[in-house]
Amino acid sequence: MSALAPRQDFPLLAGDPRLVYLDSAATSQKPGVVLDAMREYYEHDNANPHRGAYALSARATERYHDARVRLAHFFGVSDAACLLFTRGTTESLNLVAYAWGRHAVRAGDEIVVTGAEHHANFVPWQQLAHERGAAFRIAPLNATGTVDLIQLRSMVSSRTRVIAFPHVSNVLGSMNDVPEIARIAHEVGAIAVCDGAQSAPHLPVRFDELGVDFYAASGHKMCGPMGIGVLIGRRALLEEMPPFMTGGDMIRSVGDDRTTWNDLPHKFEAGTPNVSGAVGMAAAADYLDSLGMQRVRDHERALVRYACERLAALDGLRIYGPDPSCERSGVVSFTLGEIHFFLRDAGAFESFRRQFDAARPAQLVGIAERIQHQRAAGRNDRRKMLLGPDHHLRDRDETRGRERLAQQCVDFFAVTRWCEVIRRFKEQRRDLRRRNERLNVDRLRRLDVGATEVLVG
């Protein structure tokens, strides 16, 4: 399988040929064109925008505006003023929970999230529910890790004000039926809030066709810079809800007793904006469009199939989430029985580290990876899977007695090499055991995973 984008497009990857980066779901590496665009902005057009009176500020304003228009096009938003710049998905979702939530949710109302939420789309709603005296409900997932639509439909009522859900799960890679969830919300007069952090980098997203009321995404997960993201909302809602933060730029007039708000999008963008971030995120959209988001999606499908095939061939390895033949995204979570002390539990992992006075084996062979603790508990004999947000795991009472699974979230890049690492690591351990020797740092360092193609998409 050939790479969709050359490694050379990414200075960090080009500069370190041994690095296999497996943490793109947390943040992607940045193509040179994004870094160039930000540098070019600072070298030629930097000033505080919306100050109007001099040419440089006018240019900065124009660059910021152009970035918004570019991203509105990327996300299929016909009304560019409804695309707000934020610091990222977390801030976008907080904006909705604070500004819309405190305006619209009352005691006795219901807030529905799902069992697949990232903290960013869970905690703000939980807090809102506490504050307003609203009921907080968690919609279960079905066996493939998507929201169970039958159960969701039976949970909502005319008291439901909001259904918040992820487009794509950051744990299982499962993909939700967004228009259908939006329909379920609208049928009972609720709004639909979609966390797009893991879909924006991987799928063509057309906000106008999704049917949701709000959609949030982060620039840094889609080849753009950190510290910038978007919240896209329906104009009627954005106009009726109060601002999130107050200060400069978001005001129309300020009197001693009263302040009025600026038009969209400025009403929700208080203070000096992150112009270089917006420019960088727009350059990332150009980059992704140059690959073609449909090609990114098709490539990812092929990689997930390949990854799951290769991983499934490893003894004792169990993959979680939808079957690769389903519509699913590129996060593959698994546990590996035999080396569970290594993958399964951070505590055990720490003792492993101390024992060998070493960094993680995976790091020693140049692999950046991330271990996520999640729980996946069989809820009933239909093997329903309910994934709790990470905070459940920190609550020892909640998790005691349940199967605790550490899940290795492997982005689809470089799966080949990861399989090789696991296979060789296991082989090496077996050999050492046979010879009654112990694994040590030097031996781990010598673990050579071979020259397999690294795919960057």
Ligand X SMILES: Cc1ncc(COP(=O)(O)O)c(C=O)c1O
Tokens of 108: 């006795």
Q: Whole-number minimum distance, CB 164 to ligand X, in Å?
A: 11
Q: Is residue 160 within 8 Å of 112, Cβ to Cβ? A: yes
Q: Whole-number minimum distance, CB 441 to ligand X, in Å?
A: 31
Judged by CB, which is closer to ligand X: 121, or 176? 121
Spatial separation of the C-alpha atoms in residues 79 and 262, rounded to whole Å: 17
Judged by CB, which is closer to ligand X: 219, or 361? 219
Judged by CB, which is closer to ligand X: 90, or 142? 90
120 binds ligand X (CB under 6 A): yes
Helix residue spans in 156-292 (DSSP H): 178-187, 207-210, 235-240, 275-291
Closest to 449 (Cα-Cα) out of 440, 436, 426, 441? 426
Residues in contact with ligand X, counted by CB under 6 A, come to a total of 13
Q: Is residue 4 within 8 Å of 457, Cβ to Cβ? A: yes
Q: Is residue 228 within 8 Å of 196, Cβ to Cβ? A: no
Q: Select from 1-9, 113-121, 237-245, 445-453 the region that touches ligand X (CB under 6 A).
A: 113-121
Closest to 59 (Cα-Cα) out of 71, 39, 42, 74? 42
Judged by CB, which is closer to ligand X: 166, or 233? 166
Mapping DSSP onto H, E and C, the string for 244-259 reads: CCCCCCCEEEECCCCE
Positive or negative, the CA dihedral 102, 104, 110, 111 is negative
Among 166, 224, 330, 457, binds ligand X (CB under 6 A): 166
Among 61, 176, 218, 407, binds ligand X (CB under 6 A): 218
Q: Whole-number minimum distance, CB 426 to ligand X, in Å?
A: 29
195 binds ligand X (CB under 6 A): yes
374 binds ligand X (CB under 6 A): no
Spatial separation of the C-alpha atoms in residues 451 and 59, rounded to whole Å: 47
276 binds ligand X (CB under 6 A): no
Q: Helix 32-44 and helix 275-291: axis angle, to 10°? A: 150
Judged by CB, which is closer to ligand X: 361, or 389? 389
173 binds ligand X (CB under 6 A): no
Judged by CB, which is closer to ligand X: 174, or 198? 198
146 binds ligand X (CB under 6 A): no
Judged by CB, which is closer to ligand X: 111, or 230? 230
Q: Select from 193-201, 272-280, 287-295, 434-442 the region that touches ligand X (CB under 6 A).
A: 193-201
Q: Select from 12-20, 133-141, 192-200, 259-267 the region that touches ligand X (CB under 6 A).
A: 192-200
Burial of 429-446, coded b for 16+ CB within 10 Å and e otherwise, reads beeeeeeeeebeeebbee
Closest to 331 (Cα-Cα) out of 291, 370, 384? 370
Contact track, ligand X, 69-108, x by CB under 6 A: -------------------xxx------------------
Judged by CB, which is closer to ligand X: 28, or 416? 28
Give me the amino acid identity at 324.
P
Q: Select from 183-191, 194-202, 307-315, 353-361 the region that touches ligand X (CB under 6 A).
A: 194-202
Tokens of 189: 């007069």
- Coil, helix or strand for 88? coil
Judged by CB, which is closer to ligand X: 71, or 364? 71
170 binds ligand X (CB under 6 A): yes
Spatial separation of the C-alpha atoms in residues 41 and 392, rounded to whole Å: 43
Q: Is residue 64 within 8 Å of 314, Cβ to Cβ? A: no
Q: Whole-number minimum distance, CB 313 to ligand X, in Å?
A: 28
The pairing of strands 214-218 and 191-195 is: parallel
197 binds ligand X (CB under 6 A): yes
201 binds ligand X (CB under 6 A): no
Contact track, ligand X, 18-57, x by CB under 6 A: --------x-------------------------------
Interface residues toward ligand X, by CB under 6 A = 26, 88-90, 118, 120-121, 166, 170, 195, 197-198, 218
